[in-house]
Amino acid sequence: MKVALLGSRGIPAKYGGNETFVEEVSKRLLMHGFEVYVTCESDKFYVDSYKGIIRVHIPSVKSNIITVPVINDLIATVYLSTRYGPEIEIFYYVAPDGSVSAILPRLLGKTTLVNPDGIEWKRPIRRGLFWPFYLRLLSPLMTIVQWSFEYLSIKVPHIVVADSLEIKEHLEKTYNAKNVVYIPYGARELISSELSKDDEISILNKYGVSPRGYYLTVARIVAENNIHVEIEGFKKAKSEKKLVIVGNFNKKDPYTKYLFRLKGDNKNILLLDPIYDKEVLGVLRKNCFAYIHAYEVGGTNPSLLEQMLFKRPILAYDVPFNKGVLQEGGIYFKDAEDLANKMEMLERGEFDLKLIKKTQIRRIKRQYNWEKVAKEYERLFRSLIRRTQR
């Protein structure tokens, strides 16, 4: 049984939630008898293997600050279809941009799936606020394009996979969709049991922080993730702690430039480049005073799930997607002023931390377990393959 996962930047995961999902599910499908192909953005065509997963490297089209996913997906689809077409039974596009490319394998009689992720057409609206004036004129056009991807992600594939119940409900209500299935993401373990407390302290010292002495965010640095709200809220709060934000800061990107201006010379705000070492990232997550998750436009975010493993307080943006994941395991804020207030309340001990921990543990065990997620995908893929073989 041969399955291709398209639309991520590639594995091992070094960018965001899609890559984490692809890596975690692929290695488990491999253990259950599947042959898995994963497309990876590269500078040339070549094929290699990563932990038994076949990586198909595709030259990516990119500008100075972004890649162009819809074109990259088209190139990847044509390449896979011509080189491996007769072998691959399922084409799964893990982002809505792939809905255009999904037309080809659908026409070729292949089983196709698309994950529309969040409400992607809201992203250009939020990002446009930080673009230069001449680029802001493109925001409405990009919103229409992203909406068309969402529409196609319902109409083109055999199956639409929603990783959030709120996204599933949105798609069913908006498009009267009958082909949507809900399969969540999981939370990956980050720290080995061999790491000592002294090792943890050594890692924290490297970044100039101490246990319970900082708030933490690990995120893609884009406007709809509201990193600016976090910085504004932190600056308003009467806190002696630090704010540590780990992400893909790009000095050429207008939003990144805005964040550094907003930070100014505040030495308690640390803007760190991506950390790919899972144990280092795990140590930062484990020892934070609280985690801040300000994502706004939806879906279930693997970075949030990873944090829940450490049972620390989570300050989350007050939107249905975050509430659907955390339930009583989160503290919710609506804007920078509210975030500052919730930070001060948390530092005064005004929240039920026992309930927060208990809820997070329960949610991870019952809902967001990678083994459970992989088994659901295995069942889905096997049923689709049997259906096409009749």
| 2-186+369-389 matches 197-366 in fold | yes
Q: Report pLDDT digits (tens) over 220-269.
A: 899 999 999 999 999 999 999 999 999 999 988 999 999 999 999 999 99
CB 191 within 8 A of CB 282: yes
Distance CA 379, CA 304 (A): 26
| pLDDT value at residue 251 | 87
| pLDDT value at residue 64 | 47
CB 313 within 8 A of CB 349: no
Residue ranges per domain, the chain? 2-186+369-389, 197-366
| pLDDT value at residue 325 | 94
Q: pLDDT confidence of 305, banded at 50, 70, 90?
A: very high
Mean pLDDT (the chain, rounded) = 91
| pLDDT value at residue 335 | 97
The beta strand positions in 210-333, using DSSP E, are 214-219, 242-247, 269-272, 290-293, 314-317, 331-333
63: pLDDT strictly greater than 60: no
304: pLDDT strictly greater than 50: yes
Percentages helix, strand, coil for the chain (3-state, rounded to 5) are 50, 20, 35
Q: Report pLDDT digits (tens) over 184-211.
A: 999 887 776 678 899 999 999 999 999 9
Distance CA 40, CA 200 (A): 33
Amino acid at position 45, single letter: F
Percentage of the chain exceeding pLDDT 90: 74
Distance CA 381, CA 378 (A): 5
CATH fold for domain 197-366: Rossmann fold (3.40.50)
Q: Report pLDDT digits (tens) over 237-247.
A: 999 999 999 99
Q: pLDDT confidence of 298, banded at 50, 70, 90?
A: confident
Find the helix packing angle between 197-206 and 278-287, rounded to 10°: 90
pTM: 0.88
Average pLDDT of the residues in 284-307: 92
Rama region for 139: left / alpha / beta (φ>0; ψ in -120 to 50; rest)? alpha
CB 340 within 8 A of CB 234: yes
Q: Please give the CATH number for the structural domain made up of 2-186+369-389.
A: 3.40.50.2000
Average pLDDT of the residues in 152-169: 94
390: pLDDT strictly greater than 70: no
302: pLDDT strictly greater than 90: no
Cβ neighbours, 10 Å, residue 48 = 10
In three-state secondary structure terms, 58 is strand
138: pLDDT strictly greater than 90: no
